[in-house]
Copies of this chain bind each other. A is one copy, B any other.
Amino acid sequence: MADSTPPDDTPSAPAPDVTLPVDDPTYREGVIELLGVIAYGELSAFERLAEDATLAPTLRDKAELAQMANVELGHFLGLRDRLQALGVDPYAAMEPFEDTFIRFHAKTAPADWLEGLVKAFVGDGLAADFYREIAAYLDVDTRALVLESLAGTGDSQFVVARVRGAIEADPKVAGRLALWGRRLMGEALSQAQLVAAEHDGLTAVLVGGSGRGAGMDLAAIGRMFARMTENHAARMAELGLDS
């Protein structure tokens, strides 16, 4: 069904409104893994943004980053409560993804304030793309929750002004930050592939292996990654950077 339906080509179009049973054990396992990885990602984003706030050159920038961090924590709390409502220990659901995020952040530690801003913007955008893409394959309740995790990501628009300002002040910065953006995207994709390989239930939700027939086939996943790469390029351009 996936390769004949619009969602994987027009992810932002309303998804087919089938309510999928969270008590279908395979699907349930996949949803728990999905909520676990997103919850970890949001808590991790809070931590990184708060850390970047300490590098902020002005109090105003510090407050901006702190507010972005708070938005991510709000998303985390919603996901944590949903996992609890599903009768799952949210921290147990998140734990399996700890190594992934530790690896990712170890390989993408910002050298300065600007690299931190670009990482926040790029990471925020990639997460939002992924949420929109996967939402189409989720039951109504889970989809609503995942889409809520997009709220407020627009805050990172202030990043655009800061990065463009820095490039105007010193054009050499653009080359270094463009390279940084490519590295972030490369690491994100390779970590995503590791996660998919290590977590069958999660992958099943995406590829429809949970037997619901509502998932993507592998060609559709390929197209999804192509779309995410295009969106990444558009975001880099928004920052005034090549991708």
Residues of A at the B interface (CB closer than 8 Å) are 40, 43, 46-47, 50-51, 53-54, 58-60, 62-63, 66-67, 69-70, 73-74, 76-77, 80, 91, 94-95, 98
Q: Report Cα–Cα, A154/B17, bound state, in Å.
A: 43
Of the candidates B43, B54, B67, B70, the one whose C-beta lies within 8 Å of that of A62 is: B43
Provide the main secondary structure of the chain A interface.
Answer: helix
Of the candidates B40, B43, B58, B66, the one whose C-beta lies within 8 Å of that of A46 is: B66
- Asked if B47 and A63 make an inter-chain contact with CB atoms under 8 angstroms apart, the answer reads no
Q: Report Cα–Cα, A163/B217, bound state, in Å.
A: 51
CB-CB under 8 A for A63 and B80, given A58-B91, A70-B70, A73-B70: yes
Copies in the complex: 2
Instruction: Provide a sorted-by-A list of 27 A–B residue pairs whose CB atoms are within 8 angstroms.
Output: A43-B59, A43-B62, A43-B63, A43-B66, A46-B50, A46-B66, A47-B50, A47-B62, A47-B66, A50-B51, A50-B53, A50-B66, A50-B69, A51-B51, A51-B54, A58-B91, A59-B94, A59-B95, A63-B76, A63-B91, A66-B73, A67-B73, A67-B77, A69-B69, A70-B70, A70-B73, A70-B74
- The smallest C-beta distance from A20 to any residue of chain B, in angstroms, reads 28
- The smallest C-beta distance from A91 to any residue of chain B, in angstroms, reads 4
Q: What residues of B have a CB within 8 angstroms of the CB of A76 in the complex? A: 63, 66
Q: What residues of B have a CB within 8 angstroms of the CB of A50 in the complex? A: 46-47, 50-51, 53, 66, 69
- The smallest C-beta distance from A113 to any residue of chain B, in angstroms, reads 15
- The smallest C-beta distance from A71 to any residue of chain B, in angstroms, reads 10
Closest residue to A77 on the B side, CB-wise?
B67
Q: What residues of B have a CB within 8 angstroms of the CB of A66 in the complex? A: 43, 46-47, 50, 73, 76
- Asked if B47 and A91 make an inter-chain contact with CB atoms under 8 angstroms apart, the answer reads no
Q: Report Cα–Cα, A77/B68, bound state, in Å.
A: 13
Q: What residues of B have a CB within 8 angstroms of the CB of A46 in the complex? A: 50, 66
- Asked if A53 and B60 make an inter-chain contact with CB atoms under 8 angstroms apart, the answer reads no
- The smallest C-beta distance from A110 to any residue of chain B, in angstroms, reads 15
- The smallest C-beta distance from A66 to any residue of chain B, in angstroms, reads 5
- The smallest C-beta distance from A149 to any residue of chain B, in angstroms, reads 16
Q: Report Cα–Cα, A40/B63, bound state, in Å.
A: 10
